[in-house]
Structure 1
Amino acid sequence: MANSDEKLKAETSKSLFRDITADDETPEVMEIESLCFKCENNGLTRLFLTRIPFFKDVIVSSFTCDNCGYHNSELQPGGRIQDKGVKYTVNIQNKKDLNRQVVQTNTATIAIPKLEFENPPNKGALTTVEGIIQRAVEGLSQDQPLRKIQHPEIAAQIDEFIVKLNELLLLKEPFDLVLTDPSGNSYIENLYPFTDPQMKISHYNRSKADNENLGLSQDAEQEMKENEKFDAKGEVATFETNCPSCNELCSTNIKVVDIPHFKEVIIMATNCDKCGHRDNEVKGGSGIEPKGKKITLKITDVSDMNRDVLKSETASLSIPELDFSTGMGTLGGKFTTVEGILLAIKDQLKDSNPFFRGDSSEENLKGKIGEFCDKIDEIIEGKRLGIHFVLDDATGNSYLQNVYAPDDDPEMVIEMYDRTFEQNEELGLNDMKTENYKSS
């Protein structure tokens, strides 16, 4: 009886969305008898809940009907619609790029500018770049026999276009693939341990039409206005949310904190009693600054590891001596220390990346990751001094503690700079009208 209780406890403690590992001999697949829309007999739907590394939870569904042979597969995001839409632009150069994993939701649009080709939103899929092109070829070829009889000229043009699509797979020359998803839940795999030089990721504010297509409430702005009267300063607000690790209900605490010699920020802390997941995120409490900010700290002593760091969700990090840099928003917003940031980088690269562990990992890349993490450890232990820790935030909302305050810090340089057009575009500032907005 005790063994059965322990087994039940172990099963219930498992996360609903789990990573696929070599230890799972039989992945947990749910089977549901459901109606076939083609022959109206009963078929079988299989649901598999999994987690895609460096992305999020997804639900993979597959329907099979033994009566008529109809088969269909689909992918749906396991989480909520994101705050902003996302746009991926990746340059395809070699066979490895064709094998990049792609999560395409049913709201995503795929485009290949070189061919002036655009595939409108369709059913969600977990595929590859090559799979996207092959699906486009299959879709165009589907009605060709009938089209050649009824509209021979159009059929000839489609045949010519199919040839061009197939030539892309031969990689005679590079081409761009663009994925745009207003829900923010699509994804293209990054093949590099750091910033991918072949891929550009940007986030944008959804239009009113996008929100309507996604079924989002149009009363959100009115709700925000009603909540403006709430004074959160000096209070800790708590609300229930789903744990990003196990999807169980957990509590998130929100607190406004005044950082000395800086400004007010909003700290959100999530703790899950079910799986033990803990996370914190920081948001700027006073909007975007007129200029961007670049903070450069020269680490000269192990005590520098204890400096407080406020990294906003838009900030990038770099360590020039290690040829290391991240893109805007990597690691999210954090209120921690220099040591905490370095440990988060190490954890992201080494412990949270299944691609670089196990039998399937590439030894050369695995060795480089291990070597880089060893250098991070040397910095933390004070064995590697004189390196520069650079925090660059286009919104100006990041902070690194000055231990000599209110005097200047001899080891730290703070530069204010004008944002580029591209940075303003990514922050959604180019289309924002703040003067005479009633008169246009």
Structure 2
Amino acid sequence: MSMAQDLFADMGRKVEEMRANGDRTEGADDDEEVDSRVVDAIESLCMNCHEDGITKLLLTRIPFFREIVIMSFYCDHCHFKNSEIQSAGEIQQRGSKYTLKLDSGADFERQVVKSDGCVFRVDDIDLEIPPGRGQYSNVEGILRMVLSDLESHQEDRRKQMPEVAAQLDVVLEKLRNMLDGSSFPFTISIDDPAGNSWIEPSPRDHAGKYTRREYLRTREQNEALGLEDGKAQRDGTGAPDTEIRPEYKATQMTPAMPDGGVNNVDADDEIVENRVYSFPATCPGCMKPCDTNMKMVNIPHFKQVVVMSTVCDHCGYRSNEIKTGGEIPEKGCRITMSVERPEDLARDILKSESCRLICPGLELDVQPGTVGGRFTTIE
């Protein structure tokens, strides 16, 4: 097990380790020490009274998401406290946007990870919360924090800006009705250019209730995340490109890809099966030039498909996708299979971008365009 896996274990595993360490501590000798710490505490400066306070750090992994660091600060002198989260992983190759339509009280219990660069929206009342401190809570907790923040200094607004306070009272009343459960259904969304925010899904979500969309960042968003310095690149004063590890380069892949910077696709020539073609593209991760490789493969008893792969030498971005070749058939098709034996899981499956995948046993419904084109096995 790697160091990262040891540091970012999920909470269930950490609790089990604490119990095991507690049993070991009871039977251990005085000279033996058992480290059963889950939360690390360090002294840090209080920004309110400038005395020393305590910051506690918890490194954990959220199931079906990724690693985060939960931080909590408390000062014994002025009783100032603060809590926030930070992503412990890298900036993702694409931004992400999650949308959830709440139609029952159970939806309030869904976990939400909101990074410091994430925009939170309540679409039905056109309420947008700009990027701020990172938060790890559930939907109800996020909405109550928004309500509490908007209610603060409301009395002062009534004296200084009565028109703004009156408009805000309408929004506050709508938020209270949402939290009371009298305004179902309503929709919330989070939009994070870094791709490190998340809303917990449920296998019982029907079509249109929960959506996740990835998108390419704009140059301005990349600059805001520190991925590129537009001014430095324009005037030539930027730092030299960082050399990435050799195993992430396209030349280290097996089998080897064509040499970069080559466009061997001729519009006048026909695409030949089992030949790798390369053409220039733009990396969606760092917006720098890269190569996309393409190969046409004939699947037995089916048809020709095009396998496309993009690898960036600058940032290490990788992606692959399957596209069906030939014309669009006159009729659609629906294939139903009953998985009865372990051998059935090894069957090949080709899913196009427009395909909908349903598994009634898991109450799973994958909408068209969700995971793109894939050629893999049922497992």
TM over 0.5: yes
The whole-number CA distance in structure 2 between the counterparts of 1:56 and 1:120 is 23
Residue 16 of structure 1 corresponds to which residue in structure 2? 7
Match of 2:151 among 127, 141, 163: 141
Secondary structure at the residue paired with 1:80?
A: coil
The range that moved more, 84-93 or 156-165, is 156-165
2:227 matched to which residue of 1? 216
State the one-letter code of the partner of 1:17: F
Identity of aligned residues (%): 32
Q: How many angstroms apart in 2 are the aligned matches of 1:131 and 1:301?
A: 43
Aligned-pair CA distance for 1:163: 1.9
Equivalent residue for 1:326? 366
Alpha-carbon distance in structure 1 between the residues aligned to 2:54 and 2:211: 40
Partner of 1:101: 111
* Structure 2 CA distance for aligned equivalents of residues 155 and 331 of structure 1: 45
Q: TM-score, normalised by structure 2?
A: 0.64
- Counterpart CA distance in 1 for 2:145 and 2:81 is 15
The 10-residue stretch of structure 1 (35-44 or 156-165) with the greater mean CA deviation from structure 2: 156-165
Instruction: Say whether residues 1:284 and 2:321 are aligned partners.
Output: yes
CA separation of 1:285 and 1:100: change in aligned 2, threshold 3 A:
closer
Query: What is the CA RMSD across the aligned residues, in angstroms?
Result: 4.4
Q: Given the superposition, is the C-alpha separation of residues 76 and 316 from structure 1 closer, same or farther in structure 2, using an over 3 Å criterion?
A: farther
- 1:180 and 2:191 correspond: yes
1:171 alignment partner AA: G
- The match for 1:63 among 58, 73, 80 is 73
1:89 paired residue number: 99
- Cα distance change on mapping 1:231 and 1:38 into 2, 3 Å: closer
In structure 1, the residue matched to 2:256 is 235
CA distance in 2, matches of 1:105, 1:13: 20
Deviations 1:302-324 (A, max 9, x none): 66654445679997643479865
Residue 126 (structure 1) aligned with residue 136 (structure 2): yes
Counterpart pick for 1:117 among 96, 109, 127: 127
Partners of 1:86 and 1:126 in 2: how far apart? Answer: 17
Corresponding residue SS for 2:97? strand
1:80-135 per-position Cα deviation (integer Å, ceiling 9, x unaligned): 11111111111111211112111100111111122121111110000111112211
Picking from 167, 192, 201, the partner of 1:190 is 201
SS at match of 1:97: helix
Deviates further, 284-293 or 73-82: 284-293
Contact 1:317 1:325 (8 Å CA) reproduced:
yes
Q: What SS does the aligned partner of 2:78 have?
A: coil
Structure 1 alignment gaps of length 5 or more: 1-9, 238-254, 269-280, 342-440
- TM-score normalised by L of structure 1: 0.56
Q: Does the 8 Å CA contact 2:71/2:85 hold for their aligned counterparts?
A: yes
Distance 1:17 1:132 in 2: 24
C-alpha distance in structure 2 between counterparts of 1:228 and 1:287, whole Å: 28
2:288: which partner in 1? none
SS at match of 1:46: strand
Q: Is the 8 A contact 2:321 2:372 kept in 1?
A: no
Q: Which secondary structure does the structure 1 equivalent of 2:65 belong to?
A: coil
C-alpha distance 98-229 of structure 1, shift in aligned 2 (>3 A): closer
Check 1:259–1:28 CA distance in 2 against 1; reply closer, same or farther (3 A cut). farther
Mapped to 1, the partners of 2:353 and 2:85 lie a distance apart of 28
Distance 1:194 1:108, change over 3 A: same
Amino acid at match of 2:59: L
Match of 2:212 in 1: 201
Measure, in 2, the Cα distance between the counterparts of 1:112 and 1:296. 39
Q: 2:178 aligns with which of 163, 168, 171?
A: 168
Cα distance, 1:151 vs. partner? 2.6
8 Å Cα contact 1:282-1:333 kept in structure 2: no
Q: Distance in 2 between matches of 1:147 and 1:158?
A: 10
Q: Please, which of 33, 45, 54 is the counterpart of residue 44 of structure 1?
A: 54
- Note closer, same or farther for the CA distance 1:18–1:288 as it changes in structure 2 (3 Å cut): farther
In structure 2, the CA distance between the partners of 1:229 and 1:125, relative to structure 1 (3 Å rule), is closer
Q: Cα gap change, 1:136/1:337 in structure 2, threshold over 3 Å: closer, same or farther?
A: closer
- The aligned amino acid for 1:97 is D
| More deviation, 20-29/157-166 | 20-29
Q: Would the alpha carbon gap of residues 327 and 108 (structure 1) be closer, same or farther in structure 2, given more than 3 Å must change?
A: same
Larger RCO (CA under 8 A, 6+ residues apart): 1
For residues 282 and 48 of structure 1, do their structure 2 counterparts lie closer, same or farther at Cα, with a shift above 3 Å needed?
same
The question of whether the paired residues in 2 share the 8 Å contact of 1:284 and 1:312 is answered with: no
1:49 to 1:212, Cα distance in 2 relative to 1, 3 A: same
**Deviation per residue, 1:267-287 (Å, 9 max, x gap):** 99xxxxxxxxxxxx9723889
Code of the aligned partner of 1:15 = D
Structure 2: runs of 5 or more not aligned: 20-35, 234-240, 259-292, 300-304, 312-317
Q: Aligned partners of 1:234, 1:112: CA distance in 2, in Å?
A: 48
Partner of 2:90: 80
CA shift, 1:156, in A, is 3.3
Q: Which amino acid aligns with 1:326?
A: V
